[in-house]
Amino acid sequence: MSKPKLNHTNIFWITLVHLVALAAIPFFSWSNFAAAMFGLFVLAPLGINVGYHRLLTHRAFAAPAIVRRGLATLGAMIGAGAPLHWVAMHRVHHRYSDTGQDPHDATRGFWYSHVLHLFHQDPHEAGEADYIQKYAPDLAADPYLAWLNKRWLWLALAPLPTLYLAGGWGLLLWGGFVRIVLTWHVMWFVNSASHRWGYRNYETRDRTVNCWWVGLLAAGALLGAWSHVGLDAVMHFDVAPLAPWRPGNPLLDRLDVMDLHALCLAATVLGLAGLLVRRAVALRREARPNAG
């Protein structure tokens, strides 16, 4: 078996974004920190959890094309990556979870499943030119998603000028780069920590577990073992006609679009409430000298 080739594009961008994020430390302020938290706990769950994962990958609920494309666009803008590639690799992961063909095989160690696998070209990319057509044909048929898969990086960079104009270098670094780094690592913890530390309600064929602290960070994505319960149901994706990509476990079968809307609304309200509380505290502190 030949050694996988290095993915120089991933190495460059992951390293660059982390280095720029470190430069944000001197620009810390509570408002800049709040912007990063808003992206992590409100925008990321919508774009990644609801959009890329449940809707595009597992088709856990039905949605109009404008909603599907909108959530995919949000996922791209927050830096989650090319949507069709993300979906294809996650479906490959479910098919070969924690085996040699898993893109982030947890049996190869924590750091490999967390980030190091991204530094190498996945064999499915290298050996199968049509891997997206094989594992995400339902999405590749959408012209907009096919375009977004090629142009997602420009959308991820697009918010940066607006952040700079709104709050200078501090907001750009915290609302842009720190947010992206935190989002990446929380997303990666689902691949690493949720295959190592936690508990199970049901037996699975792989190492997935429910990791409570990943759930807190990832807005509910702790249920790794739940999403792998119906692994047999996703082992036959390439059987025609295309069947809905749902793992077939009790949790996802009971989760409908209204549940998702309620969760997203609650996250948005909590985020906005946090910003309002912070603003109220700042105004109170400014009023104290005048009162004296």
Q: Cα(83)–Cα(63) distance, rounded to whole angstroms?
A: 17
Peptide bond into 64 cis (omega under 30): no
Q: Which amino acid is at 78?
A: I
Q: What is the pLDDT of residue 252?
A: 44
Q: Distance (Å, rounded) from C-alpha 140 to C-alpha 130?
A: 11
- pLDDT at 290 (0 to 100): 57
pLDDT at 264: 55
> Residue 248's pLDDT is what?
44
pLDDT at 262: 44
pLDDT of residue 97: 72
**What are the tens digits of pLDDT across the range 19-44?**
999 999 999 999 999 999 999 988 99
Q: What is the Cα–Cα distance from 84 to 104, expressed in whole angstroms?
A: 17
Residues 178-224 pLDDT 10s: 999 999 999 888 888 877 777 666 666 666 777 777 877 877 654 44
10-residue averages of pLDDT along the chain (292 residues): 77 96 96 94 89 88 89 94 90 77 79 87 67 87 94 94 94 96 91 75 67 76 47 37 40 43 53 64 70 52
What pLDDT does 121 receive?
A: 80
Contact 36, 174 (CB under 8 A): yes
Instruction: Name the residue ranges covered by the structural domains of the chain.
Output: 8-291
Q: Which pLDDT score is estimated for 231?
A: 41
Q: Which two tokens stand for residue 18?
A: 């982390």
This prediction's pTM = 0.76
Residue 116: which of 191, 219, 27 has the closest Cα?
191
The confidence score (pLDDT) of residue 178 equals 97
